[in-house]
Amino acid sequence: MDDLIGRSVGLQRLLAWLLGVFAALAAGLAALGTYGVVAYSVQRRTREMGIRLALGADIPRLRNMVLWEGCRLAGAGLVIGVVSALGVTRFISSYLFGVAPRDPVVFTLIPLALGAVALASVWLPARRATRVDPIVALRVE
């Protein structure tokens, strides 16, 4: 009997597993894209960062400025994603098993996890921005 049940839901399990793999790949690509945009922005603003540091800007404030820039971008994406997901739930509710269409745990944990991934992808360029040597940065054209 277990074998029959296993075969009957085997395709659904495979599809769910593939969906999870593609979702993880999409999250990784989104993190890489966010990292790229913020790193490019920091690289373009190297001279500005050098001027700020030369004039006495404190490092945490400079890091927070870069973090805010990247997190604002990620936050907008998260809001759009959650609103879109809430709108789509009534159409996909017949395909959900073992979870409510608007499960508060899912709608809390997934944005938190994606927000953490976005924060991690923004952290490296922000840290790099604070390690700019003001003299070298002022010579950058």
25 or 5, greater pLDDT:
25
pLDDT band at 92 (very low <50, low <70, confident <90, very high): confident
Give the pair of three-digit tokens for residue 75: 């936050």
Distance of CA 53 to the CA centre of its chain: 28
Token match 């269409």: residue? 101
The SS3 of residue 108 is helix
Rg of the chain over Cα atoms, rounded to whole angstroms, equals: 21
Query: What pLDDT score does 12 carry?
Result: 81
**Looking at the whole model, is its pTM more than 0.85?**
no
pLDDT confidence of residue 8: 74
**pLDDT classification of 112: cutoffs 50, 70, 90:** very high
- State the pLDDT confidence band at 137, using cuts at 50, 70 and 90: confident
Q: What is the 3-state secondary structure (H, E, C) of 52-103?
A: HHHCCCCHHHHHHHHHHHHHHHHHHHHHHHHHHHHHHHHHHHHHCCCCCCCC
Which of 120, 7, 125, 18 lies closest to 65, judged by CA?
125
For residue 141, what pLDDT band results from cuts at 50, 70 and 90?
Answer: low
**Domain chopping of the chain, boundaries:** 27-139
Please give the pLDDT value at position 140: 66
Q: What is the pLDDT of residue 55?
A: 87
Question: What percent of the chain clears pLDDT 90, i.e. is strictly above it?
Answer: 23
